[in-house]
Structure 1
Amino acid sequence: MKNPFLLAILIVTSHCLDFNESEFFKSKCGKFTLLRILITKERMYIFLDASCIFYGDLNSTTIGSFPSSCTTICARLGIDNNCDLSKNQLMLVFQNMKHLIGSLILYRTKFTSAKFLRTLESVECGLADFTISYNPKMEEIGMTNLTTIKCSLIDIHGNEELKKLNIPNLNYASPSAENLEANKTGIEINIDSEKYGFCITSVEMYNFINIENVNLKKLGGGICEPGIQPSSGKLCNASHNVDEETEIQDGCTQMFGKVVINPKNVQNVQKLSSVEIIFGVLYIENTNLTTIDFLQNLKYISALGYGYPAITVQNNPYLSNFSFPNLKRIKNNGESSVVFTNNTQEFILDPKYCSFFEDQLGQGGWEKPKFDGNSCYTLIQEANTRPPYKFAKNLDLIIVVLFMSIAQIL
């Protein structure tokens, strides 16, 4: 390595077990000028002046020291109600910033959007997180170039006028540096608004649910209409009402609306084999289906804003099995996420069907699935108090044959 001072920093940092944000900044934002070296009995300390590091809140007093010429800036960037800068001043000071290392906190600001951060492409957190909260006039976020957030918490809430996000390119997230050092790999996303009609676009929702290790703890509002055609694949419109069958097309990878399967279109269900995501709900009613095996590529269902369970399957007298081999996540803001009602008794007698949604897909708490009004816990308890189901079915058959034999003898 050509720079011995940078090498010394890396050596010192490698021996520091606790996360040190100052060292974290210095290792990320280069162009260092050596000021002095302090050697103690335990270790050597190197004090540097880093031209792309900014400490403190941003206002008219501190704006002159902000490293506005840097494309990568290390800062715990906080803008709040004490910020006396205009939107144009902020646009000017941030015009070259593409990568922010540290954290971003917008709290109780006067701005209607965060478009002054439109050039920002990534945020990599140190000790704090990505937070935009309680901004009373903010109508949209507007960070249209933001693609990456490396923070353990993405928190956008309490913005009472927020109508939309407008962060269409955010498609990658990973935990903060601090949490990675502690071997914590989860990412929590909280996004909500008090504004009636707040919505998340189908592209934004698709990006969120594709992030690995993400916990979509709270997503408010609904999905914006109309749906947006993806860069690859094909988005098809489904039904507006659950009593209206869906016109099933070939080659759809995304469905927008209520995917309704009933006697009028059940013969075309195999065309749904290409569907990967439903922005809406899956509603299967009054069919002669014996199994649901035609959604083998379905990965996600986002039923935000629909007021229905993500999956409703009811009044299918021959239906006794289903298979969703690639289903990873269901997001619902109603009560139960999955409801099976008045199908065959197989779903009630064998709790594995209910447990698939609760255990494998994590639909617990108020999202718990319901099978004929029963929770998975109830079905398991009932199954444990009776003979194994297969034995019971065989016993029923033996009894029927025995009665028929007795009838023939008599």
Structure 2
Amino acid sequence: MGYKFIYQLSIVRNHPDFCLSTREVQAFAEAGTRVSEFEGKLCSDAGRKDGEVVCYWGNLNSMASDCQHMIGEVVIDANNEKSAWKLKNMTNIYGTLTIQGTNELVDLSFLSSLRQIASLKSIEPRKVQVFRILSNKKLQRIALPEMKTPPFPILMGDYTEIDGNTLELIKDRRYCYLFEKLTQTKVKYNGKRCKKLTPSLEYGTPDLEGWEWQVPSDEEFWNFP
């Protein structure tokens, strides 16, 4: 029941100035494109013909709140968590997303519009995962209702890294599988893959925005290193 890839993409041996626009990357990702080979970069011209707002990541505290497409390594931490609400309109990230070391953040409601994370800088295997939730003190809920396509490009061994948080964010195996299903990513929770976590002790739907689904078998998910 993992994400079904429809197309396979190979882009290699192009001119050194070859690049992809944010709209092109978005289209490939939303089409369910598996990347076998890729040599390229994101175009420096951030303008979009559809009028959607593109921003470059910087000081979130002084950043505008209308950004829909964010280019850069997005980090939410103790220094900017009070301004996280400014990302409420952000639908796409072209880089990575890390939520680390926050003191007061209790949920990810500021990411309620986030649909896609794409990282063209990473080469397999990734040194840093594109989505990480690390060492947050009060974080309780990690629902991402609109994130329904996997990171682009999907590489062997990719996963969402959730580690070192003070509170229990994933209580058992079923909850972990649900998060994988809803975000179309694999998960490592405190260093463990979902099937290594404690089995659910009772049948019930984890509190992730009220969604319900039946637990899939391990075979229906991607191989996970």
TM-score of the alignment, normalized to the shorter chain, above 0.5: yes
What is the letter of the counterpart of residue 360 of structure 1? L
Instruction: State the shift of 1:199 in Å.
Output: 4.7
Q: Report the equivalent of 1:342.
A: 164
- The structure whose residues are more often helix, as a share, is 1
Equivalents in 1 of 2:45, 2:132: separation in Å? 22
User: What is the correspondence of 1:92-107 to structure 2 with a 5 Å cutoff?
Assistant: none
Q: Is the 8 A contact 1:299 1:326 kept in 2?
A: yes
Q: Report the equivalent of 2:55.
A: 236
Instruction: State the shift of 1:352 in Å.
Output: 4.7
1:283 aligns with 2:98: yes
Task: Report the CA distance shift for 1:316/1:334 in structure 2 as closer, same or farther (over 3 A).
Answer: farther
Q: Is the 8 A contact 1:286 1:316 kept in 2?
A: yes
1:373 aligns with 2:195: no
Q: Report the equivalent of 1:273.
A: 88
Describe the SS at the equivalent of 2:169: helix
Q: Is the 8 A contact 1:255 1:279 kept in 2?
A: yes
Q: Report the equivalent of 2:211.
A: none
Instruction: State the shift of 1:322 in Å.
Output: 1.4
Q: Is the 8 A contact 2:159 2:187 kept in 1?
A: yes
Describe the SS at the equivalent of 2:88: helix
What is the letter of the counterpart of residue 300 of structure 1? Q
Q: Report the equivalent of 1:319.
A: 139
Q: Is the 8 A contact 2:106 2:141 kept in 1?
A: yes
Instruction: State the shift of 1:209 in Å.
Output: 2.3
Task: Report the CA distance shift for 1:253/1:353 in structure 2 as closer, same or farther (over 3 A).
Answer: farther
| TM-score scaled by length of structure 1 | 0.42
Instruction: State the shift of 1:237 in Å.
Output: 0.3
Instruction: State the shift of 1:280 in Å.
Output: 0.8
Task: Report the CA distance shift for 1:304/1:333 in structure 2 as closer, same or farther (over 3 A).
Answer: farther
1:187 aligns with 2:6: yes
Task: Report the CA distance shift for 1:186/1:346 in structure 2 as closer, same or farther (over 3 A).
Answer: closer
Q: Is the 8 A contact 1:201 1:225 kept in 2?
A: yes
1:294 aligns with 2:110: yes
Task: Report the CA distance shift for 1:222/1:249 in structure 2 as closer, same or farther (over 3 A).
Answer: farther
Q: Is the 8 A contact 1:303 1:333 kept in 2?
A: no
Higher Rg of the two aligned structures: 1
Instruction: State the shift of 1:317 in Å.
Output: 1.8
User: What is the correspondence of 1:148-163 to structure 2 with a 5 Å cutoff?
Assistant: none
Describe the SS at the equivalent of 1:321: coil
- Root-mean-square deviation (Å): 3.1
User: What is the correspondence of 1:5-404 to structure 2 with a 5 Å cutoff?
Assistant: 187-193=6-12, 199-211=19-31, 214-218=32-36, 220-221=38-39, 223-226=41-44, 228-231=46-49, 232-239=51-58, 248-288=63-103, 289-306=105-122, 307=126, 308-329=128-149, 330-331=151-152, 332-333=154-155, 335-363=157-185, 368-379=186-197, 382-384=198-200, 387=201
Task: Report the CA distance shift for 1:293/1:371 in structure 2 as closer, same or farther (over 3 A).
Answer: same
What is the letter of the counterpart of residue 372 of structure 1? N
Higher RCO, 1 vs 2 (CA within 8 Å, ≥6 residues apart): 2
Equivalents in 2 of 1:246, 1:283: separation in Å? 16
Equivalents in 1 of 2:160, 2:28: separation in Å? 21
- The structure whose residues are more often strand, as a share, is 1
Task: Report the CA distance shift for 1:302/1:186 in structure 2 as closer, same or farther (over 3 A).
Answer: closer
Q: Is the 8 A contact 2:139 2:167 kept in 1?
A: no
| TM-score scaled by length of structure 2 | 0.72
Instruction: State the shift of 1:236 in Å.
Output: 0.5
Instruction: State the shift of 1:337 in Å.
Output: 3.0
In structure 2, list runs of 5 or more residues that go unmatched. 205-225
Count how many residue pairs are aligned between Structure 1 and Structure 2. 192
Equivalents in 2 of 1:286, 1:353: separation in Å? 23
Q: Could you report, residue by residue, the CA deviation over 1:24-78 in whole angstroms, capped at 9, with x for unpaired residues?
A: xxxxxxxxxxxxxxxxxxxxxxxxxxxxxxxxxxxxxxxxxxxxxxxxxxxxxxx
Instruction: State the shift of 1:287 in Å.
Output: 0.4
Q: Is the 8 A contact 2:114 2:147 kept in 1?
A: yes
Equivalents in 2 of 1:227, 1:216: separation in Å? 25
Q: Is the 8 A contact 1:221 1:305 kept in 2?
A: no
